[in-house]
Amino acid sequence: MRKLSVEDVKVQGKRVLLRVDFNVPLEEGKILDDTRIRAALPTIRYLVERKARVVLISHLGRPKGEAKPELRLDPVAARLAELLGQPVRKLGQVVGGEVRDAVDRLGEGQVLMLENVRFEKGEEKNDPALSRRLAETADLFVNDAFGAAHRAHASTAGVAEYIPAVAGLLMQKEIEVLTRCLHNPARPLVAILGGAKISDKINVLRRFLELADALLIGGGMANTFLAARGFDLGDSLYERALTAEAQAIAALSENGRCRLHLPVDLVVTPELKTGGSFKVVLPGAVGGGWKAVDIGPDTVQEYTRVIAGAGMIVWNGPLGVFEIEPFHRGTEAIARAVAGSRAFSVVGGGDVVAALETLGLAGEISFISTGGGATLEFWEGKELPGIAVLKDKT
């Protein structure tokens, strides 16, 4: 998949509508994590240095077409200005006369930020009228919001119907690395999949059973696999309706190149709370009133051994209830194993990134995707609307 990027087109003096993903966590107007803002800096700086007139557009939260004061982008604009080292003018509208006037006055190398695009009812409907009005403010559309690329919205896909569309530097890197995972991985390829539900990742499980050499399973989804093998898991979370699907996926591993690894021991607790009591048991010995909430030490040892021999590692989803101590230990141990590996490592967004940041290990990972659902859909092999509309390289 080869798409034209911002490096392939002339931008000097042009009005560039740059779609970014500044959907950052906020608490009482303060940004808790500015990772997504930092991720967009290379593209913004590239455009500023080449004297483009930069108009930023992003969503924040889920206002569902209503202007909600707590979801305005003012704190984001302020933080971006600090990181860029130059003013970022923030508007109170997405489209309209105020926007047209501000863009007309925008100088070369200056940056303007529009209001939260999801305040517009037509955004999530991919309304052509909104797409056309967005396009009227620009000569070029640059999509750098990989985290929203799986959404066919006005600001991610629709606008490309009216003006030329290319990838930003972040989008370009995401496409390059995630494609490499699927089509040219270093061997052995080890996939680590966790999280609560198989239902969220059935297609990704099946895809990596075809591609990977080893598939390590943890989290609530591991419970479903274990239940499918007939183990009594007490009061553990698992998807009873998907045990047959888990059996089918396990059967595929028996006949293919990929070995499926499931927990050989579990950390269980009677009550999921910070500092709660726990014990380590074998699958099938969970017992009534107890819940499996993490992989056990023998599983950590086995998974660490597999990781140590990997040529490439892809990881999505925590292997236990990481946010509650002491049930974070399995995810932490695997994070340290991945960070210490010589393999090219790719982490696919979500809770694992938060875990790595907490542990101070994010810098030891080869590539951290800014997508959550977008990364999973890319790995499934789906066409992402926000990428499909970008011009192809010929």
For residue 302, the domain's CATH number is 3.40.50.1260
Please report whether residue 392 resides in a domain.
no
- Please indicate, yes or no, whether the overall pTM of this predicted structure exceeds 0.85: yes
| 160 and 287 housed in the same domain | no
Q: In which band, very low, low, confident or very high, does the pLDDT at 372 lie, cut at 50, 70 and 90?
A: confident
> Does pLDDT of 349 surpass 80?
no
Query: Is the domain of 23 the same as that of 133?
Result: yes
Residue 345 sits in the same domain as residue 197: yes
Residues labelled as active-site residues: 36, 197, 350, 373
Residue 11: name the closest of 69, 54, 52, 59 by CA.
52
At 41, which helix (H) or strand (E)?
Answer: helix 35-49
What is the domain count for the chain?
A: 2
| Residue 339 within any structural domain of the chain | yes
pLDDT for 110 equals 98
Percent of the chain residues topping a pLDDT of 70: 100
- For residues 213 and 142, membership in a common domain is answered with no
- Tell whether 228 and 256 lie within a shared domain: yes
Give the per-residue pLDDT at 350: 73
pLDDT category of residue 256 using cuts at 50, 70 and 90: confident
Are residue 117 and residue 220 in the same domain, yes or no? no
Range from 206-210, 255-259, 307-311 carrying the lowest mean pLDDT = 255-259
Residue (of 394, 391, 392, 393) closest to 140 by Cα position: 391
Are 308 and 200 in a shared domain?
Answer: yes
For residues 244 and 318, state if they share a domain.
yes
pLDDT at 33 (0 to 100):
87
What is the torsional sign of CA 154, 157, 158, 160? positive
pLDDT for the residue 335: 96
Predicted local confidence at residue 306, as pLDDT: 98
Residue 318 sits in the same domain as residue 212: yes
Name the least confident of 95-104, 122-131, 240-249: 240-249
Domain that holds residue 144: 6-170
Same domain assignment for residues 163 and 191? no
Assess if residue 391 is contained within a domain: no
The lowest-confidence range among 67-71, 262-266, 334-338, 354-358 is: 354-358
Instruction: Please choose, from the candidates 203, 319, 311, the residue with its C-alpha nearest in 3D space to the C-alpha of residue 261.
Output: 319
Per-residue model confidence as pLDDT tens digits over 43-72:
999 999 999 999 999 999 999 999 999 999
Mean residue pLDDT of the chain comes to 95
Determine the pLDDT at residue 168: 98
The proportion of the chain whose per-residue pLDDT surpasses 90, expressed as a percent, equals 88
- Which pLDDT band, with edges at 50, 70 and 90, does 297 fall under? very high
pLDDT for the residue 255: 77
Report pLDDT for 353.
87
Average pLDDT on 25-42 reads 92
How far, in Å, CA of 274 to CA of 30, rounded? 26
